[in-house]
């Protein structure tokens, strides 16, 4: 338990600035864990109707100051949508924000017209209807703005939420699945603030080039909250909703946990680990046993040996600039928990893997970033074409790739730059088949984002869903939102 002195200290720290709070390691934060409201829509048989409102508002994130924010059906961030495999969802999105926006269903297999990418903009005061059948298994998907050149800004201010898909198989497994009781969304984001409480988005060309990273961590919109556990086995649906930061998540007491799902749904069996690396847009579901009644802190901290090796280039630069490399994310207070925890099933689901024998095409995507000596000159900084895929920056009028519906392809993503890029493909859930080192942990599951390390080549095997539309493209891009906004994105149609 927390001593009185510690408690007073934590209050004092909180009265200053979030930065100070973060430096005060191990403190119990006075902030309660917030669970985004659940939105089940209105149901008529298999048809589920959702009414969403993109809105702006003011949110109490810092003490004594309000932050102008964006949200979906609330002032900051989105409500959690939940539906089943086999449902047909009808999502009406009204834009009550004064700028054009979109809502993209990240991770969903769906017709291109329903995707919510840059080709489905919603003007202020207008409405967009997205309708699709959920044809994929239970998974933690998410949704966010995908407005051309503005995705970074809009997501940073709050246009992001979780989209949970359930199915019969996942229900049969008896995993913790009581929303807000033993099953929690954990949307992790990093922000910077101005003195007046407003979010501080990009402030220099460095952030524009490397992506926006903040020094205050929010979980579901709350600074370093404490989750009061009432059950001894809890499921966390981790979503890295940050613009650019990759997290190495582990507990301060070194406890192990089980990864049960990746971006695209449940793994074949739980993977017991000490830590998990989560790049922007990646999700993982984990089971944490807190039957010991302790107060573990989930934090972002690189393994010592690893960080010593990796302490090159980018990280040294960051550290030299006084940037923090470690953060507490949130704390679980399990002091009220009693009794042994639920049994974790040995096997989860069987994967229907795309067959390598059926590969009909191989494509190569070179992720390119012009860096090096040019960086010393301000003139190059502002230029738009520093970030490319296969020599091109994104052009909304150019179709880069044409894919056959229902086909199996091998996509090879080569990172020619010196920083990591999380590569994302719309409309698919792929399997990683080769990369530098062993494929393990959540990367054994179905994925829609894969982190490609500097000078690494990753191969993914994709079976494209059967939707076809020669006119409306899907996107593939780096999910560092500032990279996406500046052109590290391409378009494919499925015919």
Binding partner of residue 109 among ligand C2O, Cu ion, none, CB cut-off 5 to 8 Å per kind: none
Q: Is 283 in the site for ligand C2O (CB under 6 A)?
A: no
Using CB under 6 A as the binding criterion, the count of chain residues that bind ligand C2O stands at 10
Our CB check for ligand C2O shows the closer of 18 and 152 to be 152
Nearest distance from C-beta of residue 84 to Cu ion, angstroms? 21
Q: Is 267 in the site for ligand C2O (CB under 6 A)?
A: no
Tokens of 107: 């991770």
- Long-range CB pairs of 171-174 (<8 Å, 24+ gap) are 173/266, 173/345, 173/348, 173/349, 174/342, 174/345
SS (H, E, C) 304-333: HHHHHHHCCCHHHHHHHCCCCCCEEEEEEE
- Report how far residue 198's alpha carbon sits from residue 207's, in angstroms, rounded to the nearest whole number: 18
Our CB check for ligand C2O shows the closer of 52 and 227 to be 52
- Report how far residue 484's alpha carbon sits from residue 139's, in angstroms, rounded to the nearest whole number: 24
Nearest distance from C-beta of residue 435 to ligand C2O, angstroms? 21
Distance of CA 38 to the CA centre of its chain: 18
Tokens of 182: 């033993």
Other residues' Cβ atoms within 10 Å of the Cβ of residue 25: 11
Alpha helices by DSSP H, listed for 62-159, are 151-157
Our CB check for Cu ion shows the closer of 110 and 478 to be 478
Q: Is 153 in the site for ligand C2O (CB under 6 A)?
A: no
Binding partner of residue 421 among ligand C2O, Cu ion, none, CB cut-off 5 to 8 Å per kind: Cu ion
Our CB check for ligand C2O shows the closer of 151 and 250 to be 151
Nearest distance from C-beta of residue 479 to ligand C2O, angstroms? 6
Our CB check for ligand C2O shows the closer of 342 and 477 to be 477
Residues 192-251 that bind ligand C2O (CB under 6 A): none
Binding partner of residue 281 among ligand C2O, Cu ion, none, CB cut-off 5 to 8 Å per kind: ligand C2O
Residues 100-139 that bind ligand C2O (CB under 6 A): 104, 106
Considering only 426, 431, 435, 447, the residue that binds ligand C2O (CB under 6 A) is: 426
Nearest distance from C-beta of residue 291 to ligand C2O, angstroms? 36
Helix (H, G, I), strand (E, B) or coil at 379: helix
Nearest distance from C-beta of residue 151 to ligand C2O, angstroms? 8
Angstrom CA distances, 411 to 15, 82, 192, 263, 405, stand at: 50, 31, 36, 18, 15
Q: Is 146 in the site for ligand C2O (CB under 6 A)?
A: yes
Return all residues near 441 (Cβ < 8 A) that are at least 6 apart.
259, 271, 273, 276
Helix (H) or strand (E) run with residue 205 in it: helix 205-210
Return all residues near 413 (Cβ < 8 A) that are at least 6 apart.
365, 367, 423, 450, 452, 457, 458, 459, 460
Binding partner of residue 217 among ligand C2O, Cu ion, none, CB cut-off 5 to 8 Å per kind: none
Q: Is 475 in the site for ligand C2O (CB under 6 A)?
A: yes
CA geometry: angle 179, 36, 103, nearest 5 deg: 115
Our CB check for Cu ion shows the closer of 85 and 426 to be 426
Residue 481: closest CA among 245, 321, 283? 245
Our CB check for ligand C2O shows the closer of 58 and 363 to be 363
Tokens of 41: 């829509």
Tokens of 30: 């006075």
Q: Is 144 in the site for ligand C2O (CB under 6 A)?
A: yes
Our CB check for ligand C2O shows the closer of 259 and 281 to be 281
Our CB check for ligand C2O shows the closer of 61 and 155 to be 155
Considering only 424, 431, 483, 486, the residue that binds ligand C2O (CB under 6 A) is: 424
Q: Taking CB positions, which residue lies at the least distance from ligand C2O?
A: 106
Our CB check for ligand C2O shows the closer of 170 and 240 to be 240
Helix (H, G, I), strand (E, B) or coil at 339: coil
- Report how far residue 33's alpha carbon sits from residue 38's, in angstroms, rounded to the nearest whole number: 15
Our CB check for ligand C2O shows the closer of 300 and 477 to be 477
Binding partner of residue 477 among Cu ion, ligand C2O, none, CB cut-off 5 to 8 Å per kind: ligand C2O
Q: Is 483 in the site for ligand C2O (CB under 6 A)?
A: no
Binding partner of residue 146 among Cu ion, ligand C2O, none, CB cut-off 5 to 8 Å per kind: ligand C2O
Are 28 and 13 a contacting pair, CB within 8 Å?
A: no
- Report how far residue 487's alpha carbon sits from residue 148's, in angstroms, rounded to the nearest whole number: 9
Residues 437-456 that bind ligand C2O (CB under 6 A): none
Nearest distance from C-beta of residue 261 to ligand C2O, angstroms? 17
Tokens of 47: 């048809």
Tokens of 87: 């449902």
Residues at the interface with Cu ion (CB under 5 A): 106, 421, 426, 478, 480, 483
Are 373 and 494 a contacting pair, CB within 8 Å?
A: no
Our CB check for ligand C2O shows the closer of 219 and 394 to be 394
Q: Is 477 in the site for ligand C2O (CB under 6 A)?
A: yes
Q: Is 281 in the site for ligand C2O (CB under 6 A)?
A: yes
Binding partner of residue 212 among ligand C2O, Cu ion, none, CB cut-off 5 to 8 Å per kind: none
**Contacting positions for ligand C2O (CB under 6 A):** 104, 106, 144, 146, 281, 424, 426, 475, 477, 479
């Amino acid at each position: 338990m927390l001593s009185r002195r510690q408690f007073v200290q934590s209050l004092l720290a909180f009265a200053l600035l979030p930065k100070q709070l973060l430096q005060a390691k191990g403190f119990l934060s006075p902030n309660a864990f917030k669970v985004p409201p659940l939105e089940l829509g209105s149901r008529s048989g298999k048809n589920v109707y959702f009414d969403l409102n993109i809105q702006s508002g003011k949110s109490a994130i810092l003490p004594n100051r309000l932050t102008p924010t964006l949200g979906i059906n609330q002032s900051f961030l989105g409500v959690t949508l939940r539906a089943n495999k086999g449902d047909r969802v009808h999502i009406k999105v009204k834009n009550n924000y004064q700028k054009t926006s979109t809502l993209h269903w990240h991770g969903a297999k769906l017709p291109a017209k329903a995707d919510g990418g840059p080709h489905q903009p919603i003007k202020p005061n207008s409405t967009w209807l997205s309708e699709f059948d959920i044809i994929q298994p239970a998974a933690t998907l998410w949704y966010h703005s995908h407005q051309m050149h503005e995705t970074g800004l809009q997501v940073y201010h709050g246009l992001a939420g979780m989209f949970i898909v359930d199915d019969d198989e996942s229900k049969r497994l008896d995993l913790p699945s009581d929303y807000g009781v033993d099953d929690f969304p954990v949307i992790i984001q990093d922000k910077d603030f101005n003195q007046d409480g407003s979010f501080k988005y990009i402030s220099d060309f460095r952030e524009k080039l490397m992506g926006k990273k903040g020094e205050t961590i929010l979980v579901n919109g709350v600074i370093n909250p404490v989750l009061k556990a009432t059950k001894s086995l809890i499921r966390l649906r981790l979503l890295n909703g940050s613009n650019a930061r990759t997290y190495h998540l582990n507990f301060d007491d070194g406890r192990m946990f089980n990864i049960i799902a990746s971006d695209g749904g449940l793994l074949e069996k739980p993977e017991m680990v000490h830590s998990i690396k989560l790049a922007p847009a990646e999700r993982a579901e984990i089971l944490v046993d807190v039957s010991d009644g302790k107060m573990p802190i989930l934090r972002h901290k690189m393994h010592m040996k690893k960080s010593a090796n990796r302490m090159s280039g980018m990280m040294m630069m960051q550290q030299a600039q006084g940037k923090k490399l470690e953060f507490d994310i949130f704390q679980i207070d399990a002091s009220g928990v009693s009794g042994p925890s639920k049994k974790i099933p040995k096997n989860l689901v069987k994967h229907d893997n795309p067959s390598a024998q059926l590969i009909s095409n191989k494509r190569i995507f070179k992720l390119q970033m012009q860096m090096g000596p040019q960086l010393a000159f301000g003139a190059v900084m502002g230029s738009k074409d520093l970030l490319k895929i296969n020599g091109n920056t994104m052009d909304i009028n150019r179709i880069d790739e044409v894919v056959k519906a229902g086909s199996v392809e091998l996509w090879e993503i080569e990172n020619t730059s010196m920083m990591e890029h999380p590569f994302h493909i719309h409309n698919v859930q792929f399997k990683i088949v080769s990369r530098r080192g062993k494929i393990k942990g959540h990367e054994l599951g179905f994925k829609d984002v894969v982190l490609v390390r500097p000078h690494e080549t990753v191969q993914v095997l994709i079976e494209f869903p059967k939707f076809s539309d020669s006119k409306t493209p899907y996107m593939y891009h780096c999910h560092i939102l500032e990279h996406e906004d500046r052109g590290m994105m391409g378009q494919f149609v499925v015919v």
